[in-house]
Structure 1
Amino acid sequence: MKIISHPLYLAPVPLYTKLYSGTALVIDAQSPFVKQTFRSRAVIATESGTQSLNIPVVHDGGRTAMRDVRISEHGNWRHQHWNALVSAYRKSPFFEYYADDFAHFYEERDGFLLDFNLRLHNVICELLGLEREATVITEGNIDTADACDLRHIAEPKALKALTEQPQPYYQVFARRNGFIPNLSVLDLLFNMGPEGLITLRESCL
């Protein structure tokens, strides 16, 4: 079964849960970019609850295709995002082990949001041992036959409405906040390391 998704920034765990049970990923890069979605936002756990990390983009307000959206370099968002990740996960079991795999993303400059998101996705899949063939569709129709279409979970409200119960896993601040589901997959990776793949498998059962 193939999984269809928008290219998301450090996508929520449920996407990777579905990808575990799938055989391939189809990425819709032709649909219009929508602000305040997981295309340019990730949610992580912090000591006080959750925090959203938002990538600023150059957006004309029209129906700009995701493939054409450029990252804005105004402000200091890369530094802010990396500092937030360090602050949230430096005490997690696997942050130090994986930090170098991600730090350089917040030092380099990527012109397009699509490229940035895909590069992060590829590293995440490699570290989780979740390698699936990915096809990026930049124009034309997407065949949804025999597919699991997850494009709706780019919307935060749709993600909250998911009825599937995720498999709880260790989180640094669980004693204070309880288990928080549907965070960025980095939460799973930094807390569980290679065993994150087991969590994905158990969430499929």
Structure 2
Amino acid sequence: MKRVAVDLHFLPCIEFFVAILDADEILISPQEYYQRQSYLNRAKIRLANKVETLSVPIQGRRPRLPLNKVLIDYRQNWQKIHLRGIQSAYGKAPFFEFYFPYLQPVLEKTHTSLWSLNQEMLTICLKLLQFKGKVTVCENLSEEQVDLDIRGQIMPSRPFTERNYYQAFPYTQLFGLDFEPNLSIIDLLFCMGPEAKKVLLSSIKKL
């Protein structure tokens, strides 16, 4: 049984799901600390003429806090911005009408913490991908026996080519002639639907 420890990203990138694809159990912890400039509160989508970053604003400038203590800043109108951005980017995608109703209520909901939002998003994404493994919440990941620990590895500032999980496998995207790799998983879901898992399998880096 393969156990993988992960950071709880917001709408994780494709590399994240490729890395956990063969996991029987995914381990997450609300006690993991928030990291600045990470995917914990941001995700990348493709608009008509650029790649856009969706960012969830948090309270406080540099909170050295566990994820379940990091509060989302609802004074900013980020929910409508995210929903509008996703609709603009993927409203004409083949599977938008099928998958968007799963995501919309989560983005419209007021979550108590970044942990709560990210956990609900991960649960939905795994469901839409028909992921067979289970997610386990642990108090202390450092005390768990794991087969793979990818915490702190998948970061916006470090290209995926530096790691041994993901290689870009082009699929049909809505905009542009050049394929844009490693966007949020919603890009793959909206564009490829039930074929998304096959794309993930084809994206495993061959060593």
TM-score by length of 1: 0.91
Identical amino acids, percent of aligned pairs: 27
Tell me the CA shift for residue 33 of structure 1.
Answer: 0.6
Cα contact 1:10–1:184 (8 A) shared by 2:
yes
Q: Distance in 2 between matches of 1:124 and 1:140?
A: 22
Tell me the CA shift for residue 139 of structure 1.
Answer: 3.4
Tell me the CA shift for residue 12 of structure 1.
Answer: 0.5
- 2:71 aligned residue: 70
For structure 2, the 5+ residue unaligned runs are none
Counterparts in 2 of 1:62 and 1:97: CA distance versus 1, 3 Å = closer
Cα contact 1:152–1:158 (8 A) shared by 2:
no
- 2:169 aligned residue: 167
Counterparts of residues 50-89 of structure 1 (less than 5 Å): 50-59=51-60, 61-89=62-90
- Secondary structure, aligned partner of 1:152: coil
Q: Distance in 2 between matches of 1:114 and 1:150?
A: 18
Q: Distance in 1 between matches of 2:58 and 2:143?
A: 26
How big is each residue's C-alpha offset from its partner over 1:142-189, in whole Å with a ceiling of 9 and x where there is no partner?
4354x22211244212344335412221111142xx111111000110
Cα contact 1:167–1:199 (8 A) shared by 2:
yes
Tell me the CA shift for residue 141 of structure 1.
Answer: 2.5
Q: Distance in 2 between matches of 1:199 and 1:187?
A: 12
Q: Distance in 1 between matches of 2:127 and 2:19?
A: 16
- 2:196 aligned residue: 196
For structure 1, the 5+ residue unaligned runs are none
Q: Which has the higher strand share?
A: 1
Q: Which has the higher helix share?
A: 1
- Secondary structure, aligned partner of 2:21: helix
Code of the aligned partner of 2:70: V
Cα contact 1:6–1:29 (8 A) shared by 2:
no
Tell me the CA shift for residue 49 of structure 1.
Answer: 2.1
Q: Distance in 2 between matches of 1:140 and 1:3?
A: 10
Q: Distance in 2 between matches of 1:148 and 1:24?
A: 11
Counterparts in 2 of 1:155 and 1:140: CA distance versus 1, 3 Å = closer
Cα contact 2:5–2:141 (8 A) shared by 1:
no
Tell me the CA shift for residue 47 of structure 1.
Answer: 1.2
Q: Distance in 2 between matches of 1:179 and 1:166?
A: 9
Code of the aligned partner of 2:194: P
Provide the aligned length of Structure 1 versus Structure 2: 202
Code of the aligned partner of 1:24: E
Q: Distance in 2 between matches of 1:154 and 1:33?
A: 14
